[in-house]
Structure 1
C-alpha cells in the first residue's frame, strides 16, 4: 500500500524543494526511496531517477521549453522594459519575438506561421511569475513627451505663479478644473505584457 501511495503522486503536486529534501534523505541513508517519496509527497520513480543521476535535479517536467532559460529571462526583461517605455508587447508580440529568437539561432523548433504557439506562451508566462497581462492606459504621443519631471515641475511652478498673482491660493473655491470634452483622439490599446504589481501601464498612441 505504501508503494502504491508513493507511485500515485500526480505530476505538479510536488515542488522542487520537497524533491531536493527527499533526495538528501535518501543519499544520507536516513530514509529509503519509498519512505522519502511518501514522507515528502513526491513521485517514487521521479525521485529514483534524480537520486540515480539519470535526470538532473532541476530538470523540468513536461516538454522542452524551446527557448533556453537565459533567452526566456532576457525576453521577460525586454517585456518589462518596453512596457515601462509605453510600447508594451502584446501576447502576439511576445509569441513573434520567441519565433524570431529561435530563427536567429538556427535551431530546430516547432513554431509555425511566424510565431510561437499559444501553448508555448502560456508556459512562458507560468515560468515568469513577475509578468502578467495588463490593460494599458492610452497616452498620446504629445502627452508622453511631456511626461518627465523637468516639464511637470515647470508646469506647476508656472501654475503656482498664476495662483499667487491672482491671489487664489487662499481661495480654492474660485479655482475650477475643466476636463476634456469626452471625444477621444487616441485609440484603445490592446493588452500588453508588463510586470506584476505595476499600475497605470502607459501605451503610446499615434495621436499628436
Structure 2
C-alpha cells in the first residue's frame, strides 16, 4: 500500500503584483477571466470580485492597525531621521510616543493605559522593514 503525502495548504498561489498585472490585462481585453484563472492559478471568483469592486483591490489580512497608515508612516520617518542623526530610538521611546498620540486623540485601542506592548512593536517593525534593530536595547 502506497502512502501519499498531502500537499501543504497554500492560501494564495500568486503574488499581489501578479494579481494586479492580470487584472489590468483583463481590463484591457488582452485575456479573459477564465483564461487568466487557468494560466495564473487565480480563482475566477477572486478576479471577478476584484473587477466589480465587491472586494478591495489590495488584500489585507487581519484587523486594522491602531495607528492610521499616515501616522505609522510619520512614526517610521521620525525613527529613521533620528537614526540618521545618530540618535537611535529605544523601544520604550517609540512606545511612549505612540502612547502620547493615543492619549491626545482619545481613541479606542486594545492597550493597557494606551501604551503598546512588545507584540505591537514587533508587528510595527514587520510592517516597516526599513527600520532595523542595531542593538539589543534599541530598535
Q: Residue 51 of structure 1: SS of its match in structure 2?
A: helix
Which protein, 1 or 2, shows the higher relative CO under an 8 Å CA cutoff with sep ≥ 6? 1
Partner residue, 2:94: 94
Q: Give the TM-score taking structure 2 as reference length.
A: 0.71
> How many angstroms apart in 2 are the aligned matches of 1:44 and 1:121?
37
Partner residue, 1:60: 60
Alignment of 1:108-187 (within 5 A): 108-135=108-135
> How many angstroms apart in 1 are the aligned matches of 2:27 and 2:11?
23
Asked if the contact 1:111–1:117 (Cα under 8 Å) also holds between the matched residues in 2, the reply is yes
Asked if the contact 2:102–2:114 (Cα under 8 Å) also holds between the matched residues in 1, the reply is no
Larger Rg: 1
Partner residue, 2:137: 191
- The 1:68/1:129 distance shift into structure 2, 3 A limit, reads same
Unaligned runs of 5+ in 2: 1-8
> How many angstroms apart in 1 are the aligned matches of 2:43 and 2:104?
38
**Per-residue deviation, 1:66:** 1.9
Q: Give the TM-score taking structure 1 as reference length.
A: 0.51
Asked if the contact 2:79–2:89 (Cα under 8 Å) also holds between the matched residues in 1, the reply is yes
**Per-residue deviation, 1:74:** 0.7
Q: For this pair of structures, how many residues does the alignment match?
A: 130
Please provide the CA RMSD for this pair.
2.7
